[in-house]
Structure formats: structure tokens, C-alpha cells
Amino acid sequence: MVNDIKIVAVIGAGFLGKQIASQTAFYDYTLRIYDVQTEMLEILVKKIKRKKKKKGAVGEVTYHIDLAEAVTDADLIIEAVPERLELKKKIFSQIEEAAPPHAIIATNSSSIPVSRIEEAVKRKDKVMNMHFYHQGIPMVDIMKGTETSDDTFEKGKKFVESIEFTPLVVKKECYGFVFNRLWRACKKEALEIWAGGYADIETVDTAWKIFTGMSFGPFTLMDNIGLDTVYNVEMSYYKESGDPRDKPPQALKDMIDRGELGAKTKKGFYTY
Ligand SMILES: NC(=O)c1ccc[n+]([C@@H]2O[C@H](COP(=O)([O-])OP(=O)(O)OC[C@H]3O[C@@H](n4cnc5c(N)ncnc54)[C@H](O)[C@@H]3O)[C@@H](O)[C@H]2O)c1
């Protein structure tokens, strides 16, 4: 545990929020969970409590149907609501109203730098990006806003280490953080090879597997992430740069329009 952080609140318990809460629960933190979809919270908390007990970790786990109640005594609040700037700003400002002045507010956004959210709060020295990866990949990009203090950043870094994930320090604001940028370069080239008809998806995946020793290649990974998500992320890079070379291929959009979204629809680049 990080000395100054004892109570962690997770705001938004969807795909990523659930994973962040589950990982945090393995350690001796008190955990508060809030989501607007209240019906699943009870089951989620029961599941997390069972995991915590099995691991022998202490600290209560509670769910809340009121945001203010969830953050009122929190030391660290991790926001994981959908990727919409205005929503994130609204949530940050609600947190600001109810959380103690010392609390750190972190966003799990996959693409929005906290500098674009921070205007919603006064405590600009206590905000940061804390970008967790899906499926428990044990690393977290951490990035400052325009006024984030070294103390806040250090506490955030220590928190990530305390839950046995590796912090990836982003030294200055950068769209895509650290690993997402690397993955993006690989994904973009893979899509161009496929859409341009230069090689089959199997060839690309095989090359990647041989080179890296991994058991899957970029097309399998894209199928697992969901092709709609892949497309939206590529579009956000394109909107950010305005460079036509960053626009995802039309063939990917055509797949999405046909409802071929990857593993979740049993058809994407591969058939499941
Ligand atoms: N999906 C990924 O692989 C991934 C990876 C890293 C980061 N992220 C980021 O994590 C965040 C959440 O993504 P996700 O995939 O978990 O989305 P999701 O849709 O699965 O979950 C979002 C949750 O937020 C809840 N929510 C909506 N409005 C709310 C509100 N006003 N207050 C509280 N809760 C609210 C929803 O009910 C839902 O449970 C996004 O910023 C996303 O960019 C996602």
C-alpha cells in the first residue's frame, strides 16, 4: 500500500473499471465502487470480496449508488466512465465537489490527456492520467496534466507499483501514451498491408508470432479488442493529426457496417 493512499474509489465499473477494481482489491486497500448501472454492482462487489478473501487482503469493498458517497473519504479516485470528454469533465467536477481536498483524481481514458479535463476542477495539481490496459495486462501509462505536482505523480506511480503493475512514465504530454503508440504503429501497418492486398492476415500474424515469440498476431488481437473499437481509436488519431495517411482503411469500415466486429460477433478478420 502507498502510505497516503488507503481508500480508492473507482467511478464507472464497466469493462475496464471492473478490472481496475479487481486488481486493487488484491491489496490492502478499501475500495469504493460507483456506476450508474446499479443493478450489477451488488454481484460485482460480492465477486471482488470473494477474491479479496482468497488472497487474504484486508480492506472493505463497498458499492454506492451515489457518487458523492463513493468519493467522500477517498484518497485516490480513478474515473473509468465512457470515452466522452464532456462526460469526463462532468464526473471530474462532481468528484471535486464531494472528495476530500487531498484526494487525487485520475482518469483511465485511453486517449484524452488529463490536461483537457482538468479545467473542470480547481485541484489541477492533483489530477493525472492513469491508463490501465485491458485483460489485466500489468502495466499502466501515467501522465501529468499542465499543473500536476511531482508529489501527486509520485503517489500515483507508487500506487500502480503497489498493485504490482508497472508504471509507464510519460515524460511529456503525448497522444497514445507509451505502449498504445507502439501498438498503433504495428496495427496501422498491419491494416495497410491487408487493405492494400500486399499479404494475407495469416502471413502478417505468422511473421509477428515468429519474430516476437507471442502466441497471437495483430489481427487476432484486433479481433479480440473489437473492430468497432479499433476503428474508433484509429479515427481519433486521424482527427488529432488531420493527416489523411492516418485515416483507417475503408475496408475496415465496411466490415463494421456488415456487423463483423471480431470475436464478439463471431466474425472479424477470423471466424470464431
Ligand atoms: N475497453 C478497453 O480496452 C479500454 C482500455 C483502456 C482504457 N479504457 C478506457 O476506460 C474508460 C471506460 O471504458 P470501458 O471500456 O470500461 O467502457 P464501458 O462502457 O465498458 O464502461 C463504462 C462504465 O461507465 C458507466 N457509466 C456511464 N456513465 C456514467 C456516469 N455518469 N457515472 C458513473 N458511471 C457511468 C457505465 O454504466 C459503464 O459501466 C474509457 O475512458 C476508455 O477509453 C478502455
Cα 16 to ligand 1 centre (Å): 6
pTM of the complete model: 0.90
Check residue 235 and give its pLDDT: 92
CA of 158 to the centre of ligand 1 (A): 24
Q: Domains of the chain: which residue ranges? A: 7-169, 180-265
Atom 27, ligand 1: residue with shortest CA distance: 81
Nearest CA to ligand 1 atom 41: 109
pLDDT of residue 2: 66
Residue corresponding to grid cell 490527456: 113
Q: Quote the pLDDT of residue 238.
A: 93
Answer for the pair 83, 110: CB distance below 8 angstroms, yes or no.
yes
Residues with Cβ within 8 Å of 24's Cβ and at least 6 positions away in sequence, in order, are: 8, 10, 31, 163
Q: Where are the beta strands (DSSP E) in 81-229?
A: 104-107, 127-132, 139-144, 166-169
Assigned CATH for 7-169: 3.40.50.720
User: 108 C-alpha to center of ligand 1: Å?
Assistant: 9
| Distance (Å) from CA 13 to ligand 1 centroid | 7
Helix (H) or strand (E) holding 78: strand 76-79
- Decide the pairing of beta strands 61-64 and 76-79: unpaired
CA–CA dist 250, 255 (Å, integer): 9
Ligand 1 site-directed mutation target among 38, 40, 84, 110, most atoms within 8 Å of CB: 110
| Ranges of residues in the chain whose predicted pLDDT is under 70 | 1-2
Count the Cβ atoms, other than its own, within 10 Å of residue 184: 16
**Of the candidates 128, 121, 119, the residue with the CA atom closest to the CA atom of residue 95:** 121
pLDDT at 1: 67
> Ligand 1 pocket check: which of 108, 111, 165, 184 to mutate, most ligand atoms within 8 Å of Cβ?
108
Pocket of ligand 1 (CB under 6 A): 11-17, 34-37, 80-83, 91, 108-110, 131-134
- Tens-digit pLDDT profile for residues 225-234: 899 989 988 9
CB 95, CB 105: distance < 8 Å? yes
Q: Which amino acid residue places its CA nearest to atom 7 of ligand 1?
A: 110
Residue closest by Cα to atom 3 of ligand 1: 134
Q: Whose CA is nearest to atom 2 of ligand 1?
A: 134
8 A C-beta contact, residue 124 and residue 148: yes
At the top level of CATH, the class of 180-265 is mainly alpha
Count Cα neighbours of 162 within 13 Å in the Cβ-side half-sphere: 19
- The pLDDT score that the predictor gives to residue 24 is 96
Which atom of ligand 1 is nearest the CA belonging to 110?
43
Confirm whether 7-169 and 180-265 share one CATH topology: no
